[in-house]
Amino acid sequence: MKKLLGILLTPTFTMKQFDPNYLLTLSKLAVTFNEQGKTDEAIALIYQLIEECYPHILERAKTDRTVIYELVKQKNCGDKKLELEAENLLEYLKLRGIQI
């Protein structure tokens, strides 16, 4: 069976820019807030992670519809974790004016 890897976007940051545990802490906080029912806070942290790791995704999605296509495909892949990742990225792009 083919192993699913998620979308092929390369994070654009160097470890010099972050405390080594920064991104992990943001993601754990997002999970914790979500489990506590603080959805708005969890979403804000997820979007912060997207902006930190993939600052180019918004501009790329404006000019390359393949990004949207791959995210929609991933959203329906059957792997809950990958589907959630794609759903979050699509919602982020949609809220920033990208037509899905």
Tens digits of residue pLDDT in 27-78: 899 999 999 999 999 999 988 888 887 878 888 899 999 989 999 999 999 9
Tokens of 44: 């804000």
Specify the pTM: 0.70
Q: Are the CB atoms for 49 and 11 separated by under 8 Å?
A: no
What is d(CA 54, CA 46) in angstroms, rounded to the nearest whole number?
Answer: 12
pLDDT at 18: 64
With bands split at pLDDT 50, 70 and 90, how would you rate the model's confidence at 13? very low
What is d(CA 80, CA 59) in angstroms, rounded to the nearest whole number?
Answer: 27
pLDDT at 6: 52
With bands split at pLDDT 50, 70 and 90, how would you rate the model's confidence at 9? low
Domain ranges of the chain: 20-53, 56-100
